[in-house]
Amino acid sequence: MNEQNKLDEKLDVDFIKIMNDIFKSKIIMENKNFVNGFQSWQETHFEVVSFINNPDNTNSPIIQKVYEENGTGGMYELAEDLTDEVEAILNKIKSKINIQEELKKDIILLLTDSIIFIDKNKDDVDYRKNNKLICYYNIKDNHFFICNSVLTNLTSKYNLNTKELNLLLNPIVEEILNYKNVRVM
39-57 confidence digits (pLDDT tens): 888 888 888 888 888 888 7
Cα–Cα distance measured from residue 178 to residue 185, given in angstroms and rounded to the nearest whole number: 16
Does residue 145 lie within any of the structural domains?
yes
For residue 109, what pLDDT is reported? Answer: 92
Say yes or no: 22 and 91 in one domain: yes
End residue of a domain, out of 97, 131, 163 = 97
11 & 86 share domain: yes
Domain boundary among 71, 97, 123: 97
Residue 91: inside a domain, yes or no?
A: yes
CB atoms within 10 A of CB 146: 23
| 86-98 residue pLDDT tens | 888 887 777 777 8
**Which of 68, 73, 75 lies closest to 21 in space, CA to CA?**
73
Phi, psi for 148 (deg, rounded to 5) = -55, -40
**Could you tell me if residue 87 is inside a domain?**
yes
Could you tell me which residues come within 8 angstroms of residue 34 by beta carbon, excluding any fewer than 6 positions away? 40, 41, 87
Expressed as residue numbers, the domain containing 85 is: 3-97
Render pLDDT for 127-177 as a digit per residue (tens, 0 to 9): 999 889 999 999 889 899 999 999 899 988 888 888 888 888 989 998 988
Do 12 and 79 belong to one domain?
yes
- The pTM assigned to this predicted structure is 0.54
Question: Which residue in 105, 104, 135 sits closest to 117, CA to CA?
Answer: 135
Number of domains in the chain: 2
